[in-house]
């Protein structure tokens, strides 16, 4: 694919999920990027992306709006607009909206992996991840 330098909002494809929506802003398919993937995500109230990891990708999560319960490993932090989290490659993490308003984030992953640029392994069914948030909403 030839490199695409500019993307207009009308060209970006939003994918609706049970927890909210995600829009790939930059990836191998949309721009030809090989080293970086950028995703805007919106988490609905009381929803989130449960414990998972990206085996070969580092990630930065930047909060654009709202309040985010962010986990990196077994460490939990509340992030607000303007806050960020760095997640090393292979590190289990999770993001949850525990409030009433939508949370909007920008996720930046590197390097791009595979045709889609993004690889994920869900681990929320495994211990200790399946018990870490017990009693939380």
10-residue averages of pLDDT along the chain (137 residues): 86 92 93 95 96 98 98 97 98 96 98 93 96 79
The predicted structure's pLDDT at residue 137: 56
Question: 10 Å Cβ neighbour count for 88?
Answer: 13
Q: Give the distance from CA 92 to its chain's centroid.
A: 12
Instruction: Indicate the domain borders of the chain.
Output: 14-122
**Topology at the third CATH level for domain 14-122:** Jelly Rolls (2.60.120)
Question: Is residue 41 classed as helix, strand or coil in its secondary structure?
Answer: strand
Question: 10 Å Cβ neighbour count for 89?
Answer: 15
Contact 49, 19 (CB under 8 A): yes
Contact 111, 56 (CB under 8 A): yes
Cut 0.85: pTM above it: yes
Locus of tokens 């995600």: 22
């Amino acid at each position: 694919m030839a490199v695409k330098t500019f993307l207009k909002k009308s060209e970006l494809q939003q994918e609706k999920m049970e927890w909210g929506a995600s829009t790939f802003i930059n990836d191998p398919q949309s721009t030809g990027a090989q080293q970086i993937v950028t995703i805007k995500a919106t988490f609905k109230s009381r929803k989130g992306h449960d414990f998972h990891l990206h085996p070969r990708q580092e990630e930065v999560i930047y909060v654009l709006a709202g309040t985010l319960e962010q986990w990196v490993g077994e460490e939990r932090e509340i992030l607000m607009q303007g806050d960020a989290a760095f997640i090393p490659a292979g590190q289990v993490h999770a993001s949850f909206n525990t409030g009433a308003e939508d949370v909007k984030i920008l996720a930046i992953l590197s390097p791009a992996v595979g045709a889609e640029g993004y690889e994920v392994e869900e681990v929320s069914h495994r211990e200790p991840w399946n018990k870490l948030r017990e009693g939380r909403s």
